[in-house]
Structure 1
Amino acid sequence: MNRPSYPSDLTDAQWTFIEPHLPSIGESTFCETVSRRELVNGIRYVLRSGVQWRMLPHDLPNWRTVYFYHNLWAKNAVWERVNAALVSEERERKGRKAGPSAAVCDSQSVKTTQKGGLAVTMGTKK
């Protein structure tokens, strides 16, 4: 990385954790011209700063490339796998099992008026 860092850039420790979960970019006939770490830095820049994709700074990879890989990885559930791995590691770090042993499902019932339809919205009388 030959550029000044942004606050949204991955630290070395974060990259070490995330890298194994990202698919490779190049095929055997292509060489990887854009680093996956810089792609993730570009994605994080947009998501953290809230700028439009086209406003990605020029020292990061081209916005079209960053946008393409963000969508591809979202479609292929890469981000879900990264998130699941992060959750598991954090649970283990806190001395718990990697996966939860129970789940809570909650719902709320909302009472509505006795009358419904036009009687309520139009104010019609009995």
Structure 2
Amino acid sequence: MWTTGNRARYDQRQLRYPSDLTDEEWSLIAPLIPAARRGGNKRTVDIREVMNGLIYGPGTGCPWRAISKDFPPRSTVNYYFCRWQHDGTLDRLHHALYILCREQAGREASPTAAIIDSQSVKNAANRGGASIRPVLMPAGGSRARSGISSSIRRAC
């Protein structure tokens, strides 16, 4: 419900883009981002800006090559996307935020029931197991039929 308190909480006028993370959102995500690797040069990129770029791209539907100049270079954003996808960081972020949303809604962290209809089972069988990453698989058939954007397919 849009109360005065909720309107102030979700006000995005002070942000550069509506997809940018607020300080409160960043405080939830920051501890889940892996630290820089040991050795070599120090990390010079602002990880918060990388995350803003990761959210901006899919949120607007723009391909990597069209990412705004306000973010780190597209190669840097793409590098972190591929790295975090490969090492499971994006999955951990999604899971942590999923649990938080369920708890805020007054539900248990893990669902206690699931509904499966016959159509879902048929579609799951056609796509393969959940452990297969469709982004890393070559598309079978046309790009339009595969449901995977060509900009994402070439990302990693």
User: Residue 55 of structure 1 aligns to which amino acid in structure 2?
Assistant: A
Q: Normalising by structure 2, what TM-score?
A: 0.61
Higher helix share: 2
TM-score (norm 1): 0.74
- The 4+ residue runs of structure 1 with deviation greater than 4 A are none
Cross-structure match for 1:85: 96
Q: For the Cα contact (< 8 Å) 1:25–1:36, is it kept in 2? A: no
Deviation at 1:26, TM superposition (A): 4.2
Shift of 1:102: 2.9
Rounded to whole Å, the distance in 2 between the matches of 1:81 and 1:92 is: 17
Q: 1:39 aligns with which of 31, 34, 50?
A: 50
2:32 paired residue number: 21
For structure 2, which runs of at least 5 residues remain unmatched after alignment? 1-14, 123-156
For structure 1, list consecutive stretches of 5 or more residues without a partner in the other structure: 111-126
- Provide the rounded CA distance (Å) in 2 between the counterparts of 1:17 and 1:48: 20
User: Secondary structure of 2:118's partner?
Assistant: coil
Q: State the Cα RMSD in Å.
A: 2.1
Residue type at the aligned position of 1:76: D
Residues of 2 paired with 1:27 and 1:34: CA distance? 15
Max radius of gyration: which structure? 1
One-letter code aligned to 2:75: R
